[in-house]
Amino acid sequence: MKQRIEKMDLKGKRVIVRCDYNVPIYNGKILDDTKIVASLETIRYLIEQDCKIILLSHLGKIKTEEDKQTHSLEPVAKRLKELVGREVYFSKEILDPELKKRIELMLPRDIILLENTRFLDVPNKLESNCDAQVAQFFASLADVFVMDAFASAHRAHASTTGIAKYLPSCMGFSVEKELLALDRFLKEPKHPFTVIMGGAKVEDKLELIGTLLPKCDHLLLAGGLANSFLKALNFNIGSSLATESTKTIEKLKQIMLTYRDKLMLPLDAIVGSSYDEAYTRYKKINEITDNEVISDIGVKTLAKYKTAIQDSETIFLNGTIGIYEEERYSNGTKELFNLLKNCKAIVVVGGGDAVSSVKSLGYQEAFTYLSVGGGATLEYLTKGHLVGIDAIMEEEEIEILDV
């Protein structure tokens, strides 16, 4: 068992916390603060323990100097201040030796958030390549490291796995909660176990599909993922999003041969057109023409998927079903969510896009568990472990260190 935050003696210590504040920000406005809210339990606990709290996070991918203009964590510091009800200092500096002095001057319960750790990726990818000096610098700012960024736990960065090499470490509450939920519901899922997968790129999901198929009873497909399977079956999918790779098509054919009894594909669709923005039609899946774009699932598909959903004890939903952001293509997603809401199964939603669709259509209270992790949740399900969690100390190690 990895060390839990409540088992650590943190009273009055300097504690550095890796959060995942990779939140959608548009024109300086935070569009979804779920991940910030997820960090509050750990932060409030550290306040109770009179700690000096130093927060780290990445935001987006930083490849050029220009990327930095739109990826500052400053709006997160402001939102966190509102949520936590006390000052959250923000440091534009990440590696400056002056930071140590600034932290020395902080009072117990003070909170400071450092600028986006991925700013260190330009030019030398210091954060993403887990640079040892950067990790040591972060570690030098504190006495203890708390890993509370479940959604980043599949990344071996200086601020995740790197720092854990140089400090006593433990899981934060958010990480602990995610692991408990995923283990409880999905490690040995109650059968019949149904996986519903949508989303854009089939290549991103092939490994997951390969790992989940032997474990599940039904795999229901939608979105670009389903389009690629339909293409492999020689259906005309018009101008819909699908794989272009012949290698992938061959793999999909193989999967369909091996698991034909488990796989379910759309029977009909709501289509748009690559030429005419106003064009919206209902089509059976064998009626689609060259310029049409599959944008939602239709009623026959829903009726077919309903049989699997009603039969299930556990359901895992990943990815999006259609272009739910547009009213005319949102019906399939809403009706599917209604089926999930009214079925007897444990329903776990994993992945940023799936969780966003659930929240934006108002179904956040309808399901058993929403996982904040995207890639991390998928990697945990396929590989059974995450580098960022592996790096945290075991309970026994802490006893030996006596921190």
Q: Which residues bind ligand 3PG (CB under 6 A)?
A: 20, 22, 61, 151-152, 155, 352, 374-375
Residue 128: CB atoms within 10 Å:
19
Compare residues 61 and 284 and give the one whose CB is closer to ligand 3PG. Answer: 61
State the nearest-atom distance from the C-beta of 61 to ligand 3PG, in Å: 5
Collapse the DSSP code of 311 into the 3-class scheme (helix H, G, I; strand E, B; otherwise coil) and give the result.
Answer: helix
State the nearest-atom distance from the C-beta of 56 to ligand 3PG, in Å: 13
CA-based nearest residue to 14, from 147, 108, 117: 108
Distance of CA 395 to the CA centre of its chain: 27
State the nearest-atom distance from the C-beta of 234 to ligand 3PG, in Å: 34
Compare residues 114 and 151 and give the one whose CB is closer to ligand 3PG. Answer: 151
Distance of CA 134 to the CA centre of its chain: 25
Residue 374: CB atoms within 10 Å:
20
State the nearest-atom distance from the C-beta of 1 to ligand 3PG, in Å: 25
Collapse the DSSP code of 263 into the 3-class scheme (helix H, G, I; strand E, B; otherwise coil) and give the result.
Answer: strand
Compare residues 266 and 388 and give the one whose CB is closer to ligand 3PG. Answer: 388
Strand order in the sheet with 111-114: 88-91, 111-114, 52-56, 14-18, 144-147, 169-171
Query: Would you say the C-alpha torsion 17, 18, 19, 23 has a positive or negative sign?
Result: positive
196 DSSP β-pair partners? 220, 317
Q: Which two tokens stand for residue 347?
A: 């329903």
State the nearest-atom distance from the C-beta of 154 to ligand 3PG, in Å: 8
- Are the beta carbons of 12 and 403 closer than 8 angstroms? no
State the nearest-atom distance from the C-beta of 22 to ligand 3PG, in Å: 3
